[in-house]
Amino acid sequence: MSVHFNYEEGIIAEPLNLTVSLRGTREIRDNCQLFRLTGLLDAFSEPTFRKVLGGKIDEGPKHIILDLSQIDFVDSSGLGALVQLAKQAQNAEGTLQIVTNARVTQTVKLVRLEKFLSLQTTVDAALENIKGS
């Protein structure tokens, strides 16, 4: 497992072993975890996604930012996993912020979950939202 170092910010991005169709990294920042994901969040990748990220939420920090701005597709299984992770973060007295793109936002709004899931336009906006909580 290789670790990528971002010299500009001094933050280590830990690669996550998810699936062939879903890849990502995890960064610890201040009092939160930032997950940057690419690919498909669907019925195939959802069980691994839920298991890996659920374990990381348990490890802490409890505030979570999911950067889904590079996600190509989310189906109902993926949405279910997002709801489950939001509940897990709340139960741990943390928060779940989701950075979205137009496709992800449209899918979330289609099933009227935008009020339950905290959608953000940028990672910086999500970080500010956590600081304010």
Range of the domain at 26: 4-131
Residue 87: pLDDT band (50, 70, 90) is very high
Q: Which of 100, 40, 20 is nearest to 68 (CA)?
A: 100
Whether residue 6 is predicted with pLDDT greater than 50 in this model: the reply is: no
pLDDT attached to residue 74:
96
Q: What is the CATH number of the domain that holds 118?
A: 3.30.750.24
What share of the chain in percent tops pLDDT 90?
A: 76
CA 51 remoteness from chain centre: 13
Q: Which of 29, 24, 30, 25 is nearest to 13 (CA)?
A: 25
Number of structural domains the chain divides into: 1
- Rounded to whole angstroms, the Cα distance separating 110 from 1 reads 38
Q: Rounded to whole angstroms, how far apart are CA atoms 128 and 133?
A: 9
Q: Is the pLDDT at 1 greater than 50, yes or no? A: no
Q: Is the pLDDT of residue 3 over 50?
A: no
CA distance 87 to 64: 12
Q: Which residues are within 8 A (CB) of 119 and not within 5 positions of it... i.e. 6 or more apart? A: 98, 100, 105, 108
| Whole-number Å distance between alpha carbons of 7 and 41 | 29
Q: What tens digit of pLDDT does each residue of 30-68 get?
A: 889 999 999 999 999 999 999 999 999 999 899 999 999
Mean pLDDT of the chain: 90
Residue 23: CB atoms within 10 Å: 17
